[in-house]
Amino acid sequence: MISPARGKSKEHGGIVIGKHGHAPTATPSRTRTAWIEQCGGHVLYAAGGAIYDRVVTADGSLDFVEVPRLQTKRDRKADGSWAFYAHHALTCRSTDAAHDWWEPLTPTQADAAHKFNRSDYLRVLPPTDPDYDRVYGMRADTESLNAQFERAFYNRWLPAWGLHNQTVVVLMAALAQNAWARHTWQRAIDRQQSPPQVAA
């Protein structure tokens, strides 16, 4: 959920936001059908990890304005899995009506009927978020650790049977990695704070 969303050039049907072209799709929602009675409705697109409101400008061209995201949360579903949601707020440009809703960020049952692959267009942390660059910068280290972890065991099988035992193995591997990282960092700090050596 922390990765670049699908890209697509304007020539191939994408929408350009800033310097980048994104693959867009309209977002289905039962909640937003009530807006039609209030203000005529809005055309919202999921693109580049976020939601954009399509605005027709004075010269008739289209502009795409990102809908502010106020909060992100996760809820545990009945089957034990997790679902992520983002709280959005949109002020209507024609009536000043305030719309707010929770947009699912993980696939829903209604997505299949609309042929909407939600994970292609929305992200828990979109690239426009101020923390995106910092968090995404950690991905290379995470993937490297995953690769080392896979190669550590024969035929890439965890030496444990059952979900709980496998979870313990993964947690111990993460603790070992963190302990080694702290040890390396502490040695570097100690060298920096030690007095300079006397020349021979």
In this prediction, residue 71 carries a pLDDT of: 92
- Inter-residue contact 181 to 148 (CB < 8 Å): no
- Give the pair of three-digit tokens for residue 39: 């203000």
Q: What share of the chain is helix, strand, coil (3-state, %, to 5)?
A: 35, 25, 40
- Alpha-carbon distance 147 to 139, whole Å? 12
Backbone angles phi, psi at 40, to 5 degrees: 95, -10
The predicted-structure confidence for 21-39, as pLDDT tens digits, reads as follows 888 887 766 556 667 666 7
Contact (Cβ atoms closer than 8 angstroms) between residue 48 and residue 67: no
Q: Are 38 and 92 in contact (CB under 8 A)?
A: yes
Q: What are phi and psi of 68, to 5 degrees?
A: -60, 135
Lowest mean pLDDT segment, chosen from 66-70, 86-90, 112-116, 145-149: 145-149
Three-state secondary-structure class, residue 28: coil
Question: Which pLDDT score, from 0 to 100, does residue 87 have?
Answer: 93
Q: What is the pTM of this model?
A: 0.69
Contact 32, 50 (CB under 8 A): no
Q: Is 80 helix (H, G, I), strand (E, B) or coil?
A: coil
Q: Checking DSSP bridges between strand 62-66 and strand 69-76, what pairing results, if any?
A: unpaired
- Among 5-9, 36-40, 150-154, the minimum mean pLDDT is found in 36-40
Quick one: CA torsion of 28, 29, 35, 36, rounded to 10 degrees?
Answer: 50
**DSSP-H helix ranges across 60-127:** 109-114
pLDDT of residue 73: 94
pLDDT over threshold 80, residue 146: no
pLDDT in tens, 41-52: 788 888 888 989
pLDDT of residue 150: 76
Confidence of residue 116 (pLDDT cuts 50, 70, 90): confident
